[in-house]
Structure 1
Amino acid sequence: MTEIKNNWTKEEISEIYHSPLLDLIYRAATVHRENKDYSEVQISSLLSIKTGGCPEDCAYCPQAARFHTDLEVQALMSVDQVTDAAQKAKNAGASRLCMGAAWREVRDNRDFDRVIEMVKSVNSLDMEVCCTLGMLTESQAQRLADAGLYAYNHNLDTSEDDYKRIITTRTYDDRLKTIDNARKAKLTVCSGGIIGLGETVEDRISMLKTLSNMVKHPESVPINALVPVKGTPLADQPRVPIWDMIRMIATARIIMPKTVVRLSAGRTEMSLTDQAFCFMAGANSIFAGDKLLTTPNPAFNEDMEMFSLLGLKPREAFKNGRPRVRVEEEAL
């Protein structure tokens, strides 16, 4: 079994990333088979529960209020709407629902109270529940955990050195603090990044170093390819070559052997062959459904056809155990 390391150097990660491509894929595939059921893929569904109007200035995001995109701002969904969407996703094969709200940070108000009820409701469907709500405090993370939240997503996006070029309304330390607060509440962590922002390869390697050198590796690491959106500062960025995605996925798999590595945004631009290479390189999670928050994504039935062709199978929910729900415990 592969040794888990939390002290990777940039030089070590760079050597892996730059190794001959076929050797890299073979090594990653070998690590994957040693540590995971390589044919098992987690299927998550991503739902935008509050869309647009965000005060942040993330250069890639159409939900920023300051950018002129075609996005229609939508208020926070009702608990019933979210529950219905979760049930449909589960019926289609998803084992996890990820709920995203276009907030800079969580505020202790009625909206957060409603999100807590959403978490409880989706958890009652025997689905893993993940939230991405922006920055949150330790007490807010604990409230989410008590309601049954399984995972909290907070991506690093890019390297610490490159971060200010992409976002100026919060700091890299803010990102890391939120992840730490999620950990303190014993939530699993979902944190990755985006390639194609105009970053250097060194930035990618630095981001992977930050993730792999956390005290505990994130349980999930999404690797996103930028989907350029008209009206955002990065609208004219060129598409990321598929081989760059494969190198990122393979390197992440090798340095974080137990982590679920998610092939995330950008799949609509990938052929079935492209995606097959990503699975060979160690990806074992996807977002399924026709939309990722606000950008297109392959339909469920297309993914199921791909799974059948490649011999992949959906991963069951709660494979690593259920969260402890304080509300239920107090009722006993």
Structure 2
Amino acid sequence: MPELSPRHDWTRDEITALYEAPLDVLMSQSLAVKSANWADGKVQKSQLLSIKTGGCAEDCGYCSQSAHFDTGLKAEKLMALDEVVSAARQAKESGADRFCMGAAWRNLKDRDLPKIKAMVEAVKAEGLETCVTAGMLEPHQAHALKEAGLDYYNHNLDTSREYYTSVVSTRTYEDRLETIAHCREAGINLCVGGILGMGESRTDRIGLIHELSKLNPHPESVPINMLVPIEGTPLGKSAPISVVEMARAIAVCRIVFPKSWVRLSAGREAMSEEGQALCMLAGANSIFVGDRLLTTNNPGETRDEALLKAMGFEHASREETATPAKKYVLLEQ
């Protein structure tokens, strides 16, 4: 019988046993957990906007926005407030109920804090849940964003502690955990996950999930990204990860984080309809919608609607998605 409530004492050996179980056994467990905690056939939609593109001082090996790499991406200034609000309104019209704003910064500077707060307040006023990712935060900045009404802060761990230095050298794993702690102390929900397909081993994928499991409470959202290789970045020629491996990771996350959104995030553009469906069947109950994810392509509304229709799924608000549906039992004729 799978665990139906959050645990914070998962061991690597336990997570390894889940990850390496026969796929039908693993998915059966993940679906049992999902059915007990979330509505059947419902998918929440979020939309992500790059509010400040390029010129980042970090050297994350997967990122087109790093100033360390020649990817052809032009650095831009922070977007104007009215442009952000316009994009948020369009996202809401397309069915998204969470709007995420991403700024390519190593850390949020105090001079930019009032502008970010204004964006949060304006997007909240449109009736959307808000999320921001803007690099490392100081405690007072996290509290200021909370006061502005910020719902979520995204700060991914990216990979395992052991593999991390193969991906990033300009900040440490502890730096990431420190920002996560500042957000939690300020009362902000967390959106924390990672990226698969960066040349890491399965042991590293298990290590990432184990690190996330130790956060108490667990992140309210766990985005699982498939690397989108960008020419000019150190990881631009990484071998693609299989969709089955993605599905395994998502299924394990669904079991380990029973009360968290598990979001099928970057990389959907390269997946077939069947591959995306497998990941949703594995336990993902949230997706990013729209044509773009920061600087990479996303399937777009037409393809997403076709996928959900084929699966018999429907998009729903976060409240509807988080309410377990009535369970139906086949009756004898």
Shared fold per TM-score greater than 0.5: yes
Q: Distance in 1 between matches of 2:205 and 2:298?
A: 24
1:42-61 CA-partner distances (Å, limit 9, x unpaired):
10110000000001000000
Q: Distance in 2 between matches of 1:306 and 1:235?
A: 28
Residue 247 of structure 1 is matched in structure 2 by 248
The amino acid across from 2:231 in the alignment is: K
Residue 161 of structure 1 is matched in structure 2 by 162
Q: Distance in 2 between matches of 1:140 and 1:320?
A: 31
The amino acid across from 1:217 in the alignment is: H
The amino acid across from 1:81 in the alignment is: E
Q: Distance in 2 between matches of 1:320 and 1:237?
A: 35
After superposition, residues 32-51 of structure 1 pair within 5 angstroms as 32-51=34-53
Q: Distance in 2 between matches of 1:253 and 1:320?
A: 15
The amino acid across from 1:311 in the alignment is: G
The 3-state SS of whatever aligns with 1:237 is coil
The 3-state SS of whatever aligns with 1:143 is helix
The amino acid across from 2:99 in the alignment is: L
After superposition, residues 108-257 of structure 1 pair within 5 angstroms as 108-109=110-111, 111-257=112-258
Q: Is the 8 A contact 1:38 1:284 kept in 2?
A: no
Residue 328 of structure 1 is matched in structure 2 by none
Q: Is the 8 A contact 1:192 1:223 kept in 2?
A: yes
The amino acid across from 2:131 in the alignment is: C
Cα drift, residue 320 of structure 1: 10
Q: Distance in 1 between matches of 2:40 and 2:21?
A: 22
Cα drift, residue 305 of structure 1: 2.2
Q: Distance in 1 between matches of 2:288 and 2:321?
A: 19
Residue 272 of structure 2 is matched in structure 1 by 271
Q: Distance in 1 between matches of 2:292 and 2:115?
A: 23
Q: Distance in 1 between matches of 2:280 and 2:58?
A: 33
Greater shift in the superposed pair: 86-95 or 306-315: 306-315
Q: Distance in 2 between matches of 1:142 and 1:314?
A: 32
Q: Is the 8 A contact 2:31 2:282 kept in 1?
A: yes
Q: Is the 8 A contact 2:39 2:321 kept in 1?
A: no
Residue 66 of structure 1 is matched in structure 2 by 68
Q: Is the 8 A contact 2:4 2:258 kept in 1?
A: yes
Cα drift, residue 318 of structure 1: 6.0
Q: Distance in 2 between matches of 1:315 and 1:89?
A: 14
Residue 301 of structure 2 is matched in structure 1 by 300
Cα drift, residue 313 of structure 1: 2.2
Residue 327 of structure 1 is matched in structure 2 by none
Q: Distance in 2 between matches of 1:319 and 1:92?
A: 17
Q: Is the 8 A contact 1:127 1:317 kept in 2?
A: no
Q: Distance in 2 between matches of 1:184 and 1:123?
A: 21
Q: Distance in 1 between matches of 2:305 and 2:208?
A: 32
Greater shift in the superposed pair: 298-307 or 175-184: 298-307
The 3-state SS of whatever aligns with 1:55 is coil
Q: Is the 8 A contact 2:39 2:320 kept in 1?
A: no
Residue 85 of structure 1 is matched in structure 2 by 87
Cα drift, residue 214 of structure 1: 1.1
5+ residue gaps, structure 1, are 322-332
Cα drift, residue 38 of structure 1: 2.9
Q: Distance in 2 between matches of 1:120 and 1:11?
A: 44
Cα drift, residue 319 of structure 1: 6.6
Cα RMSD of the aligned pairs, angstroms, is 1.4
TM-score, with length taken from structure 1? 0.94
Q: Which runs of 4+ in 1 moved over 2 A?
A: 317-321
Q: Select the residue among 94, 97, 122 that pairs with 1:95.
A: 97
Q: Is the 8 A contact 1:38 1:282 kept in 2?
A: no
The 3-state SS of whatever aligns with 2:45 is strand
